[in-house]
């Protein structure tokens, strides 16, 4: 019983530090979302960093690459060597 109470208290402290949700602490029971129970605040922070910092440049570069390939494909009707160049680029 003591070990369970200590682990519940530790989870409560970790979630308080993360400030991700409203916590109801009553009669030694922790009521919160299972997502936050499964992932410590460090993982939540890493996910936020990935979404905010890493994703937009990848999306911008990906859309630029798609536009470039589309342009090359349209020009390929005029020049026959362009599809070979695109295929070599992806190898």
**CA gap 25, 5 in Å, rounded:** 12
How high is the pLDDT of residue 64?
78
Does the pTM surpass 0.85? The reply is no
Alpha helices in 1-91, H assignment, sequence order? 2-18, 34-38, 41-49, 55-76, 82-90
pLDDT(17) > 60: no
Residue extents of the structural domains in the chain: 1-38, 40-91
pLDDT tens readout for residues 43-82: 666 667 667 777 777 777 777 777 777 777 666 566 555 5
* Distance separating the N- and C-terminal Cα atoms of the chain: 59
How high is the pLDDT of residue 57?
78
How high is the pLDDT of residue 29?
44
How high is the pLDDT of residue 39?
52
Strands 24-26 and 29-31: what pairing? antiparallel
């Amino acid at each position: 019983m003591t070990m369970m109470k200590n682990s519940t208290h530790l989870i409560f402290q970790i979630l308080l530090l993360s400030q991700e949700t409203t916590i109801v602490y009553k009669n030694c029971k922790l009521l919160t979302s299972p997502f936050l129970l499964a992932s410590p605040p460090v993982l939540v922070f890493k996910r936020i960093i990935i979404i905010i910092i890493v994703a937009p440049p990848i999306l911008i570069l990906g859309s630029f690459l798609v536009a470039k390939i589309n342009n090359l494909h349209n020009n390929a009707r005029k020049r026959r060597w362009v599809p070979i160049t695109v295929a070599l680029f992806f190898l």
